[in-house]
Chains A and B, each alone.
Chain A
Amino acid sequence: MSAARVVVTGVGLVTPLGNEAGLVWQRLEEGRTGIGPIRAFDTGGCPVGVAAEVPGEPALAAPAAARLPRLARRSSRLGVAAAAAAISDAGVSSEPPVRPAAYVGTLPGELDHLEAPALGRGAGFDARELDPWFLFRHLPNNTAFALAAGLGFRGPIFGLASACAAGAVAIGEALQALRRDEFDWVLAGGACAAVTPLGVMGLALIHALSTASGAEASRPFDARRDGFVLGEGAAFLVLERAERASARGARIYAEVAGYGAAMDGGALLTDPDPSGEGAARAMQAALASAGCAVEEVDCIKAHGTSTRANDRMETRAIRRVFGARAERIPVTAPKSMLGHSLAAAGAVEAAAALGILAREAIPPTINYSTADPECDLDYVPNQARPARVDTLLLNSFGMGGHNAALVIRRAA
Chain B
Amino acid sequence: MRRSVVVTGAAALTPLGSLDETWCALLAGRSRVEAVRLAGNGHAVPGARSDLELDAVPDARLRRPLGRAGMLAVAAALAAWRDAGLAGANADAAGAVLASPAPDLQLDLLHPAFLAARQNGHFDTGGFARELRRTVPPHWRLGQVPNVIGHALAALLKIRGPQLTVASACASGADAIGLAARMIEEGRVEIALAGGADNLLFAPAHALLRRFDLLSADHGPAQPFDRRRRGLVPGEGAAVLVLESAESAAARGAAVLGRFLGYGAATVPPAAADAQAGAEGFARAMSAALRDAALAAEDVGGLFAYAPGTLTGDREESLAIRQLFGTAVRVTSTKGGIGYLGAASGAVDAALALRALQGRVIPPVANLTEPDELCPVACVAGEAAAHPRAAALCNTHGLGGQYASLVLGRAA
Contact = CB atoms under 8 A, between A and B. Distances in A.
Interface in A175-199: 176-177, 179-180, 182, 197-198
B87 to A, nearest CB: 17
A268 B65 CA distance: 11
Interface string A18-55: 00000000000000000000000111111100000000
A412 interface: no
A173 interface: yes
A318 to B, nearest CB: 19
B359 interface: no
Given A138-B204, A157-B267, A125 B210 contact: no
Greatest chain A CB density within 10 A among B61, B133, B167, B210 is at B167
A128 B42 CA distance: 12
Interface stretch (B48-56, B146-154, B241-249, B387-395): B146-154
B151 A269 contact: yes
Contacts of B227: none
Interface string A132-155: 111110111110110011001111
Contacts of A138: 103, 105, 204
B228 interface: no
A113 to B, nearest CB: 5
A270 B142 contact: yes
B344 interface: no
Given A124-B108, A148-B401, A132 B207 contact: yes
Contact of A140 (B129, B146, B206): B146
A262 interface: yes
B163 A261 contact: yes
A353 interface: no
Interface string B200-214: 000111111011000
Nearest to B149: A400
A203 interface: yes
B165 interface: yes
A166 B124 CA distance: 33
Contact of A162 (B122, B165, B182): B165
Interface string B98-138: 00101101011011011101100011111111101100111
B147 A46 contact: no
B100 A398 contact: no
A149 B268 CA distance: 8
Given A126-B41, A161-B147, A268-B61, A139 B125 contact: no
A163 B145 contact: yes
A127 B210 contact: yes
A329 interface: no
B166 interface: yes
Contact of A266 (B123, B155, B166, B203): B155
Given A144-B168, A197-B117, A400-B151, A139 B211 contact: no
A324 interface: no
Nearest to A147: B267
Contacts of B123: 41-42, 113-114, 116, 197
Interface string B245-274: 000000000000000000001111111000
Contacts of B103: 108, 135, 138-140
Given A124-B42, A130-B203, A269-B65, A154 B269 contact: yes
16 contacts: A111-B105, A124-B40, A125-B107, A127-B43, A133-B211, A144-B402, A152-B269, A158-B179, A159-B168, A163-B145, A169-B164, A173-B179, A264-B154, A399-B142, A401-B151, A402-B151
Interface of A: 41-47, 63, 67, 106-108, 111, 113-114, 116-117, 119-120, 124-128, 130-136, 138-142, 144-145, 148-149, 152-163, 169, 173, 176-177, 179-180, 182, 197-198, 201-206, 260-270, 278, 281, 398-402
Interface of B: 2, 38, 40-43, 59, 61-62, 65, 100, 102-103, 105, 107-108, 110-111, 113-115, 117-118, 122-130, 132-133, 136-138, 140-142, 144-148, 150-151, 154-155, 158-169, 172, 175, 179, 182-183, 185-186, 188, 203-208, 210-211, 265-271, 398-402
Given A108-B105, A134-B207, A278-B160, 17 more contacts: A116-B123, A132-B211, A135-B102, A139-B167, A148-B400, A149-B401, A152-B269, A156-B267, A158-B179, A159-B166, A173-B179, A261-B163, A263-B163, A266-B155, A269-B145, A270-B142, A401-B154
